[in-house]
Amino acid sequence: MTAIDNMHRTHYTNQIELGLLGQRATVAGWIEDLRDIGKVVFLTVRDVRGVAQAVVSGQSINIIRDKPRQSAVIVSGLVQSSKSKDFSLEIKADAVVILNDAIHPLPIDPTGRVESALDKRIDSRALDLRNPKTASIFLLRSVILKNIRHTLSTNGFVEVNTPKIIGSASEGGANLFEFEYFKKPAYLAQSPQVYKEQLILALDRVFEIASYYRAEKSHTVRHLSEFLSVDIEAAFTNMNEVIDIAELVLMNIFSFNTSIPESEMNVSKPLSSMLPKPSLIPKPKFPLKRLSYEQCVEDLKKQGENIEIGDDLSDASLRVLGEMHQGFYFILDWPTKLKPFYIKEKENDPRLSHSFDLQYGHLELISGGQRQHDPNRLKERLIEQNLNPDNFKHHLRVFNWGMPPHSGWGLGFDRLIMALTNLDNIREAVLYPRDVDRLTP
């Protein structure tokens, strides 16, 4: 029997509150600091929710006196008031057990007192997460994912799971990962596009939260080879209706403390209330700006950008736009030729399409639009884009089974976290990022 079998955590460190004065509490975590003043040792224990102080005296001193910082520890005792400047309460320890030593030197300092470069931190991510600043990003990710699921579920969306191993390139493009699958070529999915469109045929509204794969060879701070996407697709809707849903998703994120049902508060409240920096950016003004692509190009020309209607918005152009429109805004009605085959052209001007992006400054967060639901036109569009309709036969036949008009979007979740917490590198927002140079840990 190990020591932990006799001692059970009763409280997280942030639950050591006035109401516990004189009562027993047992906290578990990692040694952050040891201050040895002879007859007593002050021990600070950090767990995922904060830090608590314990005063150790008597026999127990020998157990911890020379223990390396960051070792795993469990401490039990009565809660008393504290004279120290950082804590108003402390645990007068009568039992201390070291559960496992931390072997020094550690690859990084998780207290953050000694800063490490991002690459080094990612190399030791599990330890890096003991730094509350790092942990807060991932606690926030968890809270926001839950919030998005809640918004979509309460608006009639069914959560689905579609394959990530696929037999043909779902959207074409050169950035697909190919591999051998039982002697046949296969690919890692770059999006759930074809599946989510097929599923609305019966399920009406679907969403999926999953990882997708793109062989992004460029080294940027916003592209990874593996990223998390929130995708929706909704039958009998036009573009503006799914833009409204994107706006609702954002709005609810900014009011997440009140929109999460009471029963979930126990978990989300302590997590969100303990978030140190980086915390959420201020709530934007809703409704968000909806600019047309053509207006953006005109504005860019006035700023001296070398751009014509029909051109894609280059990185440089997006940066200028980002200066002009800070925060979140939509760009609507992109040229059809810049958009994938499944996007519907405008009836009155087929050069433009029912498509939109959500931007945060210069950063693209969402692409979406109304889809082409006419099977003949869809086939023509595939050919126009040099894709082989034979590779899409399983998809095209679905459109002959009463495919309704429909719209949807894909939200890059890691980029959303970047935007919400003001990070300048997507790798800060992903636990174990994958890029051209990184396949471990």
Per CB under 6 A, residues contacting ligand ATP are 214, 216, 223-224, 227, 229, 364-367, 410, 412, 414-415
| Residue (233 or 414) nearer to ligand ATP, CB | 414
Q: Toward ligand ATP, which CB reaches closer, 408 or 412? A: 412
Residue nearest to ligand ATP (CB): 412
Q: x/- binding map, residues 65-84, to Mg ion, per CB under 5 A?
A: --------------------
Q: Which is nearer to ligand ATP, 49 or 223 (CB)?
A: 223
Among 367, 370, 372, 421, the residue binding Mg ion under the rule CB under 5 A is 367
Q: What is the 3-state secondary structure (H, E, C) of the chain?
A: CCHHHCCCCCCCHHHCCHHHCCCEEEEEEEEEEEEECCCEEEEEEEECCEEEEEEEECCHHHHHCCCCCCCEEEEEEEEEECCCCCCCEEEEEEEEEEEECCCCCCCCCCCCCCCCCHHHHHHCHHHHCCCHHHHHHHHHHHHHHHHHHHHHHCCCCEECCCCCEECCCCCCCCCCCEEEECCEEEEECCCCHHHHHHHHHHHCEEEEEEEEECCCCCCCCCCCCEEEEEEEEEECCCHHHHHHHHHHHHHHHHCHHHHCCHHHHHHHHHHHHCCCCCCCCCCCCCCCEEEEHHHHHHHHHHCCCCCCCCCCCCHHHHHHHHHHCCCEEEEECCEHHHCCCCECECCCCCCEECEEEEEECCEEEEEEEEECCCHHHHHHHHHHCCCCHHHHHHHHHHHHCCCCCEEEEEEEHHHHHHHHHCCCCHHHHCCCCCECCECCC
Residue closer to ligand ATP by CB (options 53, 407) is 407
Report the nearest approach of ligand ATP to the CB of residue 343 (Å): 11
Q: How far is the CB of 226 from ligand ATP (least distance, A)?
A: 8
The option from Mg ion, ligand ATP, none interacting with 371 (CB < 5 to 8 A, set by class) reads none
Least Å distance between CB 191 and Mg ion? 10
Decide whether 47 or 357 has the Cβ nearer to Mg ion: 357
Stretch that binds Mg ion, among 160-168, 252-260, 365-373, 415-423 (CB under 5 A): 365-373
Give the nearer residue to ligand ATP in terms of CB position, either 32 or 208: 208
CB of 435 to ligand ATP, least distance (A): 9
User: Residue 224 CB, nearest distance to ligand ATP (Å)?
Assistant: 4
User: Which segment (12-20, 212-220, 230-238, 363-371) binds Mg ion by CB under 5 A?
Assistant: 363-371
Q: Catalog residues that contact Mg ion under the rule CB under 5 A.
A: 367
